Chain A
Amino acid sequence: MFDAYLQGVQSLMAMDVLLAVAAAVPIGLVFGLLPGLSGLTALAVLMPLVYGMEPLVGLSFLLAAHAVVYTGGSVTTILLGIPGSPPNAATLMDGRPMALRGEAGRAIGAALVASALGGLVGMVALLALLPFLQPVIVHLGSPEVFALALLGISYIAIIGHGDLFKGLAAGGFGIFLSCFGYQDITGVPRFWSGSEYMLDGFRLVPLVLGLFAIPEIVDLAVSKRQQFRIMPDSVSADRLRHGMREALIHRWLLLRAAWIGVLVGLIPGVGGDTAPFVAYGSAKQWARDPARFGTGCVEGVIAPEASNNAKEGGALVPTLALGLPGSAGMVILLGGFLLLGLQPGVGFLDHHTNVAVALALVLAIANVLAVIVMLAAVPIVVRLLDVRGELLAAPLLVLVVLGAYAVDENTMDLLFVAVFGFLGYCMKSLAYSRPALLLGFVLGPTLETYLHISLQAYGASFLLRPGVMVIVLLIVGGFAWPAYRRLRLRRKGDRDAPC
């Protein structure tokens, strides 16, 4: 085994592999910076380029581009309040308020280091789990997927800043929106009203861009105030360094969030988009002062960004070990393996451990390289954005329209960007949680499908499976412990208060 690890390191040191990684990182970052374009789009676009390449060179190119998309996306999210890719929406909750407070540099520094370290945790997880991959994945079944989705959905109550009722209402509305189109368990479309577009229900990218980008753009366009302007000095080297240091100070939070990312990525079916929300919810739940979350606290940036990049390492585990993609991006990456003449699966690690090790290291190198590139690029991006809000609104709108159209080249997506934009603007004005709506939308189908599968396969006894019981305990404990702690603090305060 040690020899295979050593061979993996040696294969990675080949000049063509390193060049492929170096070329892929800026491409992936650009995909991340442009609103709406995700890692999935990057892989689909880049796939034809790798045909004819050496397997490790081609796979390194694809993986490196895919892995750093969210790093680029975090910068757009913080600076513009527009998620670079759907999973970056969780970073918005605290990243944007920080930027508006003049702390964009601090937020970006923290996000970049969290992304890089999250990627490193993903690599460590992948390397550590390589020898035990198959039993780990085989023991995590549909009931565990359901329980994890339940854990995620329980955070609706937490991520909704302020009014609990508004958070729950937004989350419930998100679940309702996810009910449109084909139902996985019957194959019958719901609420499609005879429209072909609605056979697949509402799409994620128009929803995210509409909910989050349009209200920001409207604010930029109509407001004469300077409050939306990002001043170049707010992302000075000092401020970036300050943010980077803070990510290291909150290392336990970062590690916990990264492991959440790995776990979510590890289980095929949960869907990687969930990871940053679960990490954010968990960070808020266990924080000493949860009320700070949503107002611009750095922990709210670190947690989702660390989990975003870590989940790729987790998702590679089932892809390599069983040939079962752990996320939508991994489905395309799996196609890349086949195109380059490699077939992941149980036997894969017997003969290609060096490739698996090399890919784990590619994850690490790409994530670190992405931070270096972004640190150099951020001042340029900020300078480009240093114009009056009204002037910035039009090009941003163009980018949003292009981003929404590029996914499926469907003009209906543009219509729904506008519809969800209106909804997002109303929600923002009335202080309803947009991330809660998004979480409900993403997790609604998973919850429904895997509850149905679990009941059919195991009956109600699926609740007694050890994995499910542990996750349910986490959910209950997650709500009970902070409440207990607050009660204890209040009692202590009462005791200490002068009579």
Chain B
Amino acid sequence: MLTTRTRKRVTLKTVSITPMRPRPNPRTLLACLGLVLTQLVWTQASISEQRPLAGERVRLVVGFGAGGGYDVYARMLAPHLEQETGATVVVENWTGGGGVVALNRLATDDTEGLTLMLVNGPSAVMGQVLGNEGVRYDVSAFTWLGRVFAEPSVVLASPVSPYRSLADLTSADLPVRWASAGKTTTAGTPALVSQALKLRSEVIIGYKGTSESALAALRGEADLVAMSATSARAQAHKNGLVPIAVVSHERISLLPEVATVAEQINLTPSQNRWIDYGITVMGLGRSLATSEHVSPERREYLRRVVKKILTDTTVIREAAAQGRPIEFGPPSELLASINRALANENEPTRGELRHVILEKFNP
């Protein structure tokens, strides 16, 4: 019995010992686990640091209705913002007051960069400069993230008018009539060009957008119309309107045969400042901004993200295929232009601008 027991014990011992590896020390195990957890937490923290908006809900606001140009741009950019930040990006249309309501709300937003807005730069600045009723924002206080696209304005003549160059306009016997949707449409180009060239102009406003203004010129109801370069090229090709001048420092690739204002007329510095002002304001284009209430780290992160998306060649190609070009402009450049456009110190002064754009050419 004893022998059997002993053998059994021995056998048991043999069985239990043979496959056994050195037993890990519980302390070592705990240490390893701690190390792994620390590594995980550190990695996670590092990822969060790199993508601080991951898992958040970001609003991409447009101040105009669904289906319009700004809305389409925003919906095109939203998936790229999502991919880059890891956030859920939702496009929202905060309509009212031609974008003023959305800008007012952005000014008081305190969501730490979770509300972005695709801003109509020229319209936002002109609203502030001209002291439009309802404006409660300060464009220079917004956190600007980058310009998506900007293009200069182009002056087009009616095919039934006698005008084919700026020289024709300056020597006109009768007042020239411009068609426009509003006084500040295309940054007030009709008034600014008229002031710079000392034209006898009348700006007829009230048309429903660029298309109807173009139709007015096509009918001969107005002699001239100003619009963005892309629309101008389309109107020239589609409807036979005649582009006579680009309000820009240099010629543009969309309409290479059309001369700039400076190429056609020798302007004195006092005349030129009106053209310069128009160029500066139109240069603000469609830009991305967020509220001023955002930490410097978040601001820099958002700027990096926006720059990465808007300079990505795949994104640019995809956007161009949809007829929505992208041409990134850095925030520093934007802010400098905004400060110039606000006319706090530079000429023309706000008072002069109000007189010229709101009163002088609007009988």
Contact = CB atoms under 8 A, between A and B. Distances in A.
Contacts of B75: 48
B134 A184 contact: no
Nearest to B231: A323
Interface in A378-437: 408-410
Contacts of B240: 346
A28 interface: no
B134 A196 contact: yes
A187 B104 contact: no
Interface stretch (A2-10, A137-145, A236-244): A137-145
A295 interface: no
Contacts of A184: 205-206
B222 A457 contact: yes
B331 interface: no
A184 B362 CA distance: 13
Contacts of B209: 331
Contacts of A139: 219
Interface stretch (A159-167, A170-178, A365-373, A448-456): A448-456
Contacts of B65: 44
A232 interface: no
Nearest to B72: A335
Contact of B72 (A185, A192, A339): A339
B202 interface: yes
A325 B214 CA distance: 12
B101 A322 contact: no
B96 A199 contact: yes
Nearest to B100: A199
Contact of B205 (A185, A322, A324, A338): A185
B234 A343 contact: yes
Interface in B26-85: 65-69, 72, 75
Contacts of B72: 335, 339
A438 interface: no
B212 A324 contact: yes
Contacts of B338: none
B208 A269 contact: yes
Nearest to A324: B211
Given A322-B239, A452-B206, A189 B133 contact: yes
A268 B67 contact: no
Contacts of B237: 345, 347
Nearest to A347: B238
B239 A345 contact: yes
A196 B239 CA distance: 38
A82 interface: no
A182 interface: yes
Given A141-B221, A142-B216, A343-B238, A325 B98 contact: no
Interface in A295-324: 318, 322-324
Interface footprint category on A: 35 or more
B204 interface: yes
Contact of B67 (A51, A332, A348, A453): A332
A142 B134 CA distance: 30
B323 interface: yes
Contacts of B93: 408-409
Interface string A456-486: 1110000000000000000000000000000
Interface in B171-204: 177, 182-184, 202, 204
Nearest to A333: B67
A196 B100 CA distance: 8
Nearest to B202: A456
Contact of B234 (A199, A323, A335): A323
A47 B214 CA distance: 25
A23 to B, nearest CB: 20
Contacts of B204: 453, 456-457
A322 B215 contact: yes
Contacts of A138: 215, 218-219
Contacts of B323: 338-339, 341
A468 to B, nearest CB: 13
Given A189-B134, A456-B202, A345 B215 contact: no
Nearest to A140: B219
B95 interface: yes
Nearest to B182: A187
Interface centre among B98, B206, B211, B363 (most CB of A within 10 A): B206
B221 A187 contact: no
A323 B206 contact: no
Contacts of A48: 75
A188 interface: yes
A456 B363 contact: yes
Given A187-B184, A196-B134, A322 B100 contact: no
A256 to B, nearest CB: 27
Interface in B206-244: 206-209, 211-212, 214-216, 218-219, 221-222, 234, 237-240
B66 A44 contact: yes
B162 interface: no
A99 interface: no
B11 interface: no
Interface in A112-134: none
B215 A137 contact: yes
Nearest to B183: A187
A43 interface: yes
Given A187-B183, A346-B238, A269 B96 contact: no
A47 B95 contact: no
B206 A185 contact: yes
Interface of A: 43-45, 47-48, 51, 137-139, 141-142, 182, 184-189, 192, 196-197, 199-200, 268-269, 318, 322-325, 331-332, 335, 338-339, 341, 343-348, 408-410, 449-450, 452-453, 456-458
Interface of B: 65-69, 72, 75, 93, 95-98, 100-101, 104, 132-134, 177, 182-184, 202, 204-209, 211-212, 214-216, 218-219, 221-222, 234, 237-240, 322-323, 362-363
15 contacts: A141-B216, A182-B98, A186-B205, A186-B362, A187-B184, A189-B134, A200-B95, A269-B208, A322-B239, A323-B234, A332-B67, A335-B72, A408-B93, A453-B207, A457-B177
Given A335-B72, A456-B202, 4 more contacts: A322-B215, A341-B323, A345-B238, A457-B177
10 nearest A-B residue pairs (beta carbon): A345-B238, A199-B97, A44-B66, A332-B67, A44-B67, A185-B206, A449-B206, A184-B206, A324-B211, A456-B204
